[in-house]
Structure 1
Amino acid sequence: MTRYTGLAGLALGLAATLAAGAAAAQDYTFKLHHMLSAKSPAHTQMLEPWAKQVEANSGGKVKIELFPSMSLGGKPPELVQQARDGVVDIIWTVNGYTPGLFPRTEVFELPGVYKNDIAAANLAMHDMFESDLAEEYKGLEVMWLHVHAGQAIMMVDKEVRSPADLEGLKMRIPSRTGAWVLETLGAAPLAMPVPEVPSALSKKVVDGTLLPWEIIAPLKLQNQVKHFIEGHEQTRLGTTTFQVSMNKARWDGLPADIQKAFKDASGKDWWAEVAKIWRKGDDFGIKLAEKAGRNHVTLTEAETDAFMVALEPVIERWVAQVGATGIDGQALVDKARALIAENATK
């Protein structure tokens, strides 16, 4: 055998080895689908770092491809079903886009249960997951749950300082609990996914919306909204719950080392880190609005208390609603409040 032939054989052998390695890696490629843009903080600061950590944990065996802005098709309310059906492998979505599917987890959305502490709510959900929440995620393997900084009030024209100021106004809502908040305050709720909000505000289809400050930057809401209103000590009118979940059949088919790569990237420390990411994004968003000359209103303690007293019937309504399906809502409220207090960072 000539030296040339030997080198050629070696090169072919190396190429075959590399090709086999690449093929093996393709066995663990996952598609992660979500509704916000590739420039949103949720994408760049939460989903991308998590995906890279999973990939690193796997020793290069896993590749997670992110598909933002519903680029694989469908609408945001279809994401849960896309994951359950295996159309996509992993989703990040708002639980409230599919009302009624995650009633136990809704307890963390309620005003007076969630007030202003993202980390405490995330960690409380972690602590309650196996005992109280897991059963409603059938067909899914949950990587993690989280909330955002909470429902602040964004108004196109009108400054709001009391519950009466919202009476008769049309307001966009993110979930059924958000709808109950607005109905209790005398407003008319209109449900729509968050990507539709800028157009609805600019055309005055709605007078305002309930959202966290984090979304100001990616949706450029400082261009449509004049008044950004929150309660004393960043108190909000409840919040929204989210999930990052994988198709259960896909999960069950993975070897133990690949499952470990995902779970190690999604532990309790990560649930707490996600809270820091959302708080940072919230702080950045309101600074952007202030820089644009918009009105950032922080309600007094008395004004905030007036809202919270007015919203007490929301919890009563939720307890009755889930109670009709056999869920002990009051027990969930009590447990969620206790665990939020136990995990408090504020």
Structure 2
Amino acid sequence: MTFLKSTTVALFTLASASSAFAQDVTLRFQHFVSPKSANPTYFMQPWADKIEADSNGRIKVELYPFMQLGGKAPNQFDLIRDGAVDGGWVIPGYQPGRFPEAEALELPFMTTKVGEQASVAAWKFTQKHLMDDFKDIHLIAAHMHGPGLVHKKGPAIEKVEDFKGLKLRGPSRPATLLLDKMGATPVGMPVPAFPEALSKGVVDGGVITWEMSPSLKLNELTDSHTDVSGDKALYNLYFIWAMNKDRYNSLPDDLKAVIDANSGEFASAWAGRAHDQGDVVGKQVMIDDGNQIGVVSEEETARMMALGEEVTAEWITEITKKGLDGAALVADAKAFVAESQ
């Protein structure tokens, strides 16, 4: 009897241990920037820590910067969809034309310069217009960054004519359309390629945020950083934080609930706020290194906005020919932005 009891206890303990082990989950999330940049520092890592804490240690989220798990930044959506990674950070605009409705949020002077506000708008817009596009993944957050500005070699931009002849990196199709409209030669490229392109003279500069500037060494590779006047951003970029759908569905309900509680508008606003925090730090680094900080006058900003309106009008015409209601998409984007202020 003692032997049987001991055997029964041992088998029960082993079964319990196996069951507990089966409930423990490690999720591998990938992104394409420095772990010291704003989103990984103020959103991704705190989010991962909160997931672990809220699950009482049953979920561990591992973060891999610089695409360490393989693939290229433009293919991140497919890597997540196909299960090559459990989750990660995606810029849909890195695949021009694939997610056309998302471009409405990226049109010139669409968003405010507050990333948190823009991100709340992005989440609401996503829920209304983009969930079909993202049906093959599990969406956690949709967000924007803070103000996008011009970083370049040489003096700061002062007027529209200063763009003429400049080769400038752009992160998305709407951004490159605006650069082209202002007389620059736009060069589309993902952020990891930007520093090398600058150092080799492939581009004269580009548009990106304050917060990314230190990790890209823009204090060394460029001389000036130019924002526009007013409360609207020259351009913005749309991001998603997402998970492989099958991996999410494989979780027990209580662990799905942990992910769900850290998703949606809450997580989107958090991600946008991370960029706002990073912008303060990044701008100060550029100032401390003695780089020129420029702000385009209100009069010249108005000229740029007029060119931006032309880009938007042309975008509406183009997107409508593809069977989408371009005017409605723009109207909804503007309404959600206004509502989030």
For residue 40 of structure 1, what is the aligned residue in structure 2? Answer: 37
Amino acid at match of 2:21: A
Amino acid at match of 2:137: L
> Does 2:327 correspond to 1:321?
no
* Alpha-carbon separation, structure 2, partners of 1:246 and 1:270: 14
> Does 2:128 correspond to 1:145?
no
Q: For residues 140-192 of structure 1, what are the alpha-carbon distances to aligned partners after superposition, in whole Å with 9 as ceiling and x for unaligned?
A: 11100111113200011142111111112111110111110111111111122
For residue 247 of structure 1, what is the aligned residue in structure 2? Answer: 244
Q: Which runs of 4+ in 1 moved over 4 A?
A: 11-19
1:171 aligned counterpart, secondary structure:
strand
Asked whether the equivalents of residues 105 and 236 of structure 2 are also in contact (C-alpha less than 8 Å), the reply is yes
For residue 308 of structure 2, what is the aligned residue in structure 1? Answer: 311
Matches within 5 A, 1:51-200: 51-200=48-197
Q: Deviation of residue 21 (structure 1)? A: 6.3
Deviates more, 1:250-259 or 1:278-287: 250-259
Amino acid at match of 2:200: K
Output the TM-score relative to the length of structure 2: 0.92
* Alpha-carbon separation, structure 2, partners of 1:222 and 1:202: 12
* Alpha-carbon separation, structure 1, partners of 2:197 and 2:287: 22
CA distance 1:291–1:15, change in 2 (3 Å): farther
Matches within 5 A, 1:21-32: 23-26=21-24, 28-32=25-29
Asked whether the equivalents of residues 169 and 188 of structure 2 are also in contact (C-alpha less than 8 Å), the reply is yes
Asked whether the equivalents of residues 126 and 142 of structure 2 are also in contact (C-alpha less than 8 Å), the reply is no
Asked whether the equivalents of residues 36 and 68 of structure 1 are also in contact (C-alpha less than 8 Å), the reply is yes
* Alpha-carbon separation, structure 1, partners of 2:301 and 2:246: 46
Q: For residues 111-147 of structure 1, what are the alpha-carbon distances to aligned partners after superposition, in whole Å with 9 as ceiling and x for unaligned?
A: 1322423222211222233322211113111100111
Structure 1: state its 5+ residue gaps: none
> Does 2:242 correspond to 1:213?
no
* Alpha-carbon separation, structure 2, partners of 1:320 and 1:197: 31
Structure 2: state its 5+ residue gaps: none
For residue 20 of structure 1, what is the aligned residue in structure 2? Answer: 18
Identity %: 33
Output the TM-score relative to the length of structure 1: 0.91
Q: For residues 74-119 of structure 1, what are the alpha-carbon distances to aligned partners after superposition, in whole Å with 9 as ceiling and x for unaligned?
A: 1111111101111111010212111122211211111132242322
Q: For residues 1-51 of structure 1, what are the alpha-carbon distances to aligned partners after superposition, in whole Å with 9 as ceiling and x for unaligned?
A: 99xx9xx99x9899858953662244x221101101222222122111111
* Alpha-carbon separation, structure 2, partners of 1:20 and 1:233: 59
Asked whether the equivalents of residues 25 and 60 of structure 1 are also in contact (C-alpha less than 8 Å), the reply is no
Deviates more, 1:324-333 or 1:289-298: 324-333
For residue 280 of structure 1, what is the aligned residue in structure 2? Answer: 277
> Does 2:335 correspond to 1:338?
yes
Aligned residues: 339
* Alpha-carbon separation, structure 2, partners of 1:324 and 1:245: 30
* Alpha-carbon separation, structure 2, partners of 1:22 and 1:249: 21
For residue 294 of structure 2, what is the aligned residue in structure 1? Answer: 297
Deviates more, 1:111-120 or 1:328-337: 111-120
Asked whether the equivalents of residues 110 and 233 of structure 2 are also in contact (C-alpha less than 8 Å), the reply is no
* CA RMSD of superposed structures (Å): 2.4
